[in-house]
Chain A
């Protein structure tokens, strides 16, 4: 677009003055402002905006995936009856990779976007505190929603309050189980056995002849029904012969 030279003729100047006066009076009467009076009004955010992370302990399989994927290294696994994640909100960048990577949908996002802590210690939220939403002090009397189109912005105030709840979107993952791709390469180091949180891998006696023939069950490993498909053994195996496979 070519920028045209501004006309300085008295009529054009007068027209501009009229325009500015018109606009000022229009804004003075009905302003187009989009300010939210925050503690008394709460803006309704879209559902997929990432918030406080909530844990369902019954679903957690202690697979450590959340702790390993976290780019800010904010998740610490701590031991109760099992290992459960705790989020350090001094580090958390709300990328929600942990929620996305959780194979069973134990971690979930919530609508709670504004959190306040009394001290730095409190910001290290433990797994026991993550099982439910923290205490909410609600000062808002009404909700506010933005409507943005290409032409204009509008702010709509609603009398009803926004519902703060946990959004549990369970990922559609088929059940998987670990299996050995190349039994003849197994070193028998038993690291997979030690790392397995559910004692799903058991050892069976086997022999491999010099000709490469496997006698017995074929492998020292046997993955039992207890396997939940967390993939820890896959990551641990030094020979990288383990893999996850979908179960029919």
Chain B
């Protein structure tokens, strides 16, 4: 009975597995060992590989370790400081984020008396659902979780759910700073969501489909950033707004409301809520790379086989985020009214122009 189930599972996994010539001898060797072989087959199963390994959860954690350190180091460099240095000095403090994570893990997570206890503890974990669900729909070459022609629309829909969890986190904290932060998050949500969705729709019109495969195939010659530069710009600015980065760091404003909705969190729960914005940035940048920078089009090495596409997508994403991280040290924070005025006048106007360009180009192409 168990043998039959295992055999069926093996058949399912083997029929749709990643072909990587570089590690093929190791895989062949491991396939001869019972029980290990089903694990290896599961890891190399394309939907599992896309969601859990690359561009999914495993590289997301790697990216988090990298970007927290890189952003601090880059900001320090531009502001004439040194930045994190003393943890692992020979590599200039590169495992600072890991050390911080370990510290959060062993720190006491305090739930204060006025908080709504179930929501306060649950919501940081629940917030991961809308963040991790889009990964199932983001394809990278052959590795894809759920293949659907409406993937881009679905990713945008799930991204729109994230601010709701952040607002709920602020509400459950029952703190005046958290409340102010929640309201600001709601205002920012109103400000960025409309131009963002219009910019994505303009690209969907341009490519004629919400399928990332079609989008990437149509960018094989000219990337989408050149086809529709205004949508590119609007997407970039709304991405900064959505992930509450400077100059739009309004909900989390450290100097005014002390990290906004997350002010009451400590320990592991704070570690979870702190990385929310970075994870959201990762998902949005994956979408950005697929829509504007040619997705997984790029290098092709024979020994890497199916790994080429996820690797290319991941490298492009990390490079784009590393360039975006520089914005943090360039601009001062806008006021709420300035941001809302800017977004409802210029950004919506630009996104309408982008929509026009998208419709016209989609009709021509």
Binding site for B on A (CB under 8 A): 20-21, 24-25, 27-28, 31-35, 37
In the bound assembly, the distance between CA atoms of A102 and B309 in angstroms comes to 79
In the bound assembly, the distance between CA atoms of A31 and B81 in angstroms comes to 9
A25 to B82, Cβ gap below 8 A?
A: no
A28 to B330, Cβ gap below 8 A?
A: no
Given A20-B330, A21-B330, do A28 and B80 touch, yes or no (CB 8 Å)? no
B330 to A33, Cβ gap below 8 A?
A: no
Q: Which residues of A contact B326 (CB under 8 A)?
A: 24-25, 28
Mind listing 5 A-B residue pairs with CB under 8 Å? Answer: A24-B329, A24-B330, A25-B326, A35-B81, A37-B82
A33 to B80, Cβ gap below 8 A?
A: yes
B81 to A24, Cβ gap below 8 A?
A: no
A28 to B81, Cβ gap below 8 A?
A: no
Q: Which residues of B contact A21 (CB under 8 A)?
A: 330
B81 to A33, Cβ gap below 8 A?
A: yes
In the bound assembly, the distance between CA atoms of A34 and B79 in angstroms comes to 11
Selected from B74, B82, B85, B331, the residue in CB contact (under 8 A) with A28 is B74
Q: Which residues of A contact B329 (CB under 8 A)?
A: 24
Q: Which residue of B lies closest to A40 (CB)?
A: B89
* Number of B positions contacting A (CB below 8 A): 11
Q: Does B78 contact A (CB under 8 A)?
A: yes
Q: Other than the known A24-B329, A27-B78, what 4 A-B pairs have Cβ atoms closer than 8 Å? A: A25-B326, A33-B81, A33-B82, A37-B82
- Digitize B69-82: 1 where CB-to-A-CB distance is under 8 Å, 0 elsewhere: 00000100110111
Selected from A24, A25, A31, A37, the residue in CB contact (under 8 A) with B80 is A31
Selected from B80, B81, B85, the residue in CB contact (under 8 A) with A32 is B80
Q: Which residues of B contact A32 (CB under 8 A)?
A: 80
Q: Which residues of A contact B80 (CB under 8 A)?
A: 27, 31-35
B82 to A35, Cβ gap below 8 A?
A: yes
Given A24-B326, A25-B326, A37-B82, do A31 and B77 touch, yes or no (CB 8 Å)? yes
The 6 closest A-B pairs by CB, nearest first: A33-B80, A27-B78, A24-B330, A31-B77, A20-B330, A35-B82
Selected from A31, A34, A35, the residue in CB contact (under 8 A) with B78 is A31
Given A24-B326, A25-B326, A28-B326, do A33 and B77 touch, yes or no (CB 8 Å)? yes
In the bound assembly, the distance between CA atoms of A21 and B326 in angstroms comes to 9
In the bound assembly, the distance between CA atoms of A117 and B326 in angstroms comes to 44
Q: Which residue of B lies closest to A29 (CB)?
A: B77
Selected from B81, B85, B331, the residue in CB contact (under 8 A) with A20 is B331
Q: Which residues of B contact A24 (CB under 8 A)?
A: 78, 326, 329-330
- Digitize B320-359: 1 where CB-to-A-CB distance is under 8 Å, 0 elsewhere: 0000001001110000000000000000000000000000
Q: Which residues of A contact B74 (CB under 8 A)?
A: 28
Q: Which of B50-109 contact A (CB under 8 A)?
A: 74, 77-78, 80-82, 85
In the bound assembly, the distance between CA atoms of A37 and B93 in angstroms comes to 14
Closest-CB distance, B301 to chain A (whole angstroms): 29
Q: Which of B166-201 contact A (CB under 8 A)?
A: none
In the bound assembly, the distance between CA atoms of A28 and B328 in angstroms comes to 12
